[in-house]
Amino acid sequence: MNAGFTSEQLLDRWEDQRDVKNLMGRLSMSYCVKRERGMYEKYWSRRPDVCIGINEGWYEGSEAVAGYYMSLHENTAHQSRIVAKAFPSELEGKSEEELHGVGSMDYKPLDTAVVEIAGDRATAKGIWTIRGSHSRITDAGPVSFWEWGWFAVDFIREGDEWKIWHMQYVHDILNRQGTKLFGDIEPYPELAEFKGAGSMAEKLPNRPEKLRELYNIDRKFTPSPRVPEPYGTFCDTFSYGVEGVRP
C-alpha cells in the first residue's frame, strides 16, 4: 500500500530508508575498525537531548554521549600500547595511529532491520538485532566474546542528512566464547606482558538505571525493544530516548 503517497514521494521515502540503513552500516564499520573517536562527530545530532541507553543506564546529553565514545577510544589506545610492547618485533616502528586497535575486533553485524520514516520525513525510527563477536585485550591477552543484542534508534533529519538522536544499545548476551552464554566464568590466567590491559574502566552512564537484564535461566520473558510502527510526526509515536516507553 502506498498510503496516499505519490510515486515521487515514495522514491524520497525509499532513499530515506537507504540513507538510514547506510548510516547504521557505517556506524557498525566504525566499531569494527576501532574508529570510536569520530563516531559522535560523524553520526550524531548536535541536539542537547541526545542519549544512549545501555543495560546499566543512560548517557544523557551531548557531553555524556561524546564522552562515551571518547572513553572507548581511550581504552583502545591504552590496550594498543600494551599490545605493541608485547610484540615489539612485529610492531616496532608503527605510528600510534597505525597501532590503534591492533589485536582488537568489534564486529557488530546488523540484521532483521525494521525502519519507519515519519510521514513528515523529519524523523525516522529503526531497530536491528546484533549477533556479533568482539575481542578485548585483557590482562590475559586477547579474549573473544559473544555479543547478542539490539540497536533501537530514533533518527532526525538535519539539513540533507540523517543523524542519530536517541539510541538504545542493549544486550541479551555478553560472555566469553567457548563457554556458557551467561553467568560468571573462570577467568583465564593473567599474562605478565599484558598486565594492566584491563585496568581502564569504560565511562559509566551519567543516569544509572536498569534498562535490560542480561539473559540468565531465571530471567523473566523479556521482549525486544519496541518495534517501530508507521507514524506521522514524532509526537505521534514513542521515543527510544530517556523519556520513551520501554518494555
pLDDT digit string, tens, across residues 61-97: 999 999 999 999 999 999 999 999 999 989 988 888 8
Spatial CB neighbours of 96, under 8 Å, sequence gap ≥ 6: 77, 80
DSSP 8-state secondary structure symbol assigned to residue 204: P
Residue 246, pLDDT score = 40
Number of compact structural domains in the chain: 1
Residue 95 lies in a domain: yes
CB 41 within 8 A of CB 164: no
Q: What are phi and psi of 78, to 5 degrees?
A: -60, -45
Range of the domain at 75: 7-236
Residue 184, pLDDT score = 84
Residue 247 lies in a domain: no
Residue 72 lies in a domain: yes
Q: Has residue 127 got a pLDDT over 70?
A: yes
Going by pLDDT thresholds of 50, 70 and 90, the confidence category of residue 2 is low
Q: What is the mean pLDDT of the chain?
A: 92
18: domain CATH number is 3.10.450.50
Residue 241 lies in a domain: no
In terms of C-beta density within 10 A (0-12 exposed, 13-18 middle, 19 or more buried), how is residue 67 classed? Answer: middle
Q: Has residue 140 got a pLDDT over 70?
A: yes
d(CA 21, CA 125) in angstroms, rounded, equals 11
Residue 1 lies in a domain: no
In terms of C-beta density within 10 A (0-12 exposed, 13-18 middle, 19 or more buried), how is residue 167 classed? Answer: buried
Residue 211 lies in a domain: yes
